């Protein structure tokens, strides 16, 4: 993995075997970024995609493996009670036999097959936190309110 800062953004190239989410959070820690948004594309080998089931208050996880075209990766990193946390969604295209398929959802982890190109945009002039929502059992953006 390599990255460079240009203007107010960080441009990241990830390589074979890199885990995208942990690397984004690692860059935020190293660069002192408390909150940011990011987007990207690439080719991946494995993705853990989650769907939140409100009636169960939990995520269902599906793992995709093989040649996964990362069509769109969008997410954010914010400061929570336990440090930095992410909220990421992605869409992947892949083949299953002769069929071309698409799958997407909330992302737990993504491993790069040959490359991923990510733009990380730190929040300027403030930071976004995370607050717990007892109704859904998940967290949402917090702008400093208690």
Share of the chain above pLDDT 90, in %: 77
Mean pLDDT value of segment 71-91: 93
**What is the pTM (predicted TM-score) of this model?**
0.92
pLDDT at 144 over 50: yes
What's the CATH number where 115 sits? Answer: 3.30.1330.80
Domain count across the chain? 1
pLDDT digits over 11-34, tens only? 999 999 999 999 999 999 999 999
Task: Show the domain range for 130.
Answer: 2-142
Mean pLDDT value of segment 108-127: 96
Residues with Cβ within 8 Å of residue 44, at least 6 apart in sequence: 20, 68, 69, 70, 92, 110, 111, 112, 113, 116
């Amino acid at each position: 993995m390599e990255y460079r800062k240009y203007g107010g953004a960080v441009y990241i190239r990830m390589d074979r075997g890199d885990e995208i989410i942990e690397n984004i959070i690692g860059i935020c820690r190293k660069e002192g970024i408390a909150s940011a948004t990011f987007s990207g594309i690439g080719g991946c080998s494995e993705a853990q995609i989650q769907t939140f089931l409100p009636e169960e208050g939990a995520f269902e996880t599906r793992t995709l493996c093989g040649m996964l075209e990362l069509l769109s990766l969008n997410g954010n990193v914010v400061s929570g009670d336990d440090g930095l946390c992410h909220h990421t969604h992605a869409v992947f295209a892949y083949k299953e036999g002769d069929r071309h398929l698409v799958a997407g959802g909330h992302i737990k982890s993504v491993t790069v097959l040959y490359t991923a190109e990510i733009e990380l945009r730190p929040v300027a002039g403030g930071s976004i936190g995370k607050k717990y929502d007892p109704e859904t059992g998940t967290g949402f953006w917090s702008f400093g309110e208690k």
